[in-house]
Amino acid sequence: MSAEILVKDLNNLVALPQAYLQISQMINSPRHSALDIGKIIAQDTDLSARLLRIVNSSFYGIPVPIETISRAVTIVGTSDLHDLVLATSAGRIFKDIPGELMDMGEFWGMSVYTGIVASTLAERCNILHCERLFVQGMLHDIGRLPIYLRLPEQAREILLATNGDYDILSATEQEILGFTHTEVGALLTRDWNLPESIQTVTHYHHQPELAAEYKIETSLIHISSILAECETLDESTDEILARVNPHAWQITGLSQQDVESVLDGIPQQAAEVLKLILPATG
């Protein structure tokens, strides 16, 4: 099976949220307003409740409470809310992954952690609309999930071979599958009509030097994902950051001190946001 066939097989199996599909059709049409899009999202009561909790959380830091989805669309932006709808729906899409292959609470916890660190570091880099890095972080490793869902035996073989060593994951996947989770993620996010920035970050977050575009975003996700992967390891910050590709430091202009200065409180914030987005895994 190739990565292309795996993604096609997955898209034939799982159903994207109806709200997401409708928003995708409406997003570039001048005939549809924020109110129209809000009405579509509001038809899914669970989704709309989670989105309102996220928009009103400390992550967005909006001083006045947002009480309607249409107002959330106006504040957050049509494109960003469109991507957030899919990110918050991903738990449903991949709910049937066997627990012995992947602890989904841990997976989404690491993904949320990556997104929060990346968006926080993006502020240090003076990136406009730095909150968009949150969704990029949420989805950067999404390519792993189709492998667990559709190829459980090969996934088990990969897990045994890597034994928790994330540094050799891609090489092991290439050896066993003939492709990697980053290729799957890039294809999947393209098929889901997500922005090119998300497709690029998903494809190159392990090798940021290969990204032809969105170089700083890819480098920020690279740094943040390493911090997330190592969050539970008994290693010093120096040891963890030694894994960062030198290209990422060069592109972002960040130093180790810059990174260390934003880490206080991130685990607690990640846990809070995870409960808002995916309460079942919190």
| Burial 104-130, CB ≥16 within 10 A → b, else e | beebbbbbbbbbbbbbbbbebbebeeb
Taking each helix axis from N to C end, the angle separating 78-93 and 45-55, rounded to the nearest 10 degrees, works out to 120
Mean pLDDT of the 10-33 span: 80
pTM given for the model: 0.88
Mean pLDDT of the 71-98 span: 82
Judged against a pLDDT cut of 70, whether residue 280 lies above it is answered with: no
pLDDT at 239 (0 to 100): 85
In tens, the pLDDT along 85-99 reads: 888 788 778 888 888
CA distances in angstroms from 276 to 87, 119, 279, listed in the order given: 12, 17, 6
Judged against a pLDDT cut of 60, whether residue 150 lies above it is answered with: yes
Identify the weakest region by mean pLDDT among 100-109, 132-141, 177-186, 224-233.
224-233
Q: Between 222 and 105, where is the model more confident?
A: 222
Q: Between 27 and 94, where is the model more confident?
A: 94
Q: Could you tell me the residue ranges of all domains in the chain? A: 3-15+99-277
pLDDT at 282 (0 to 100): 44
Mean pLDDT of the 112-138 span: 91
CATH number of 3-15+99-277: 1.10.3210.10
* Mean pLDDT score across all residues of the chain: 88
Q: What are the backbone angles phi and psi of residue 90, rounded to the nearest 5°?
A: -65, -30
pLDDT at 226 (0 to 100): 92
CA 117, CA 240: separation in Å to the nearest integer? Answer: 15
Provide the residue type at 36 as one letter. Answer: D
In tens, the pLDDT along 258-269 reads: 998 888 888 888
Mean pLDDT of the 243-251 span: 95
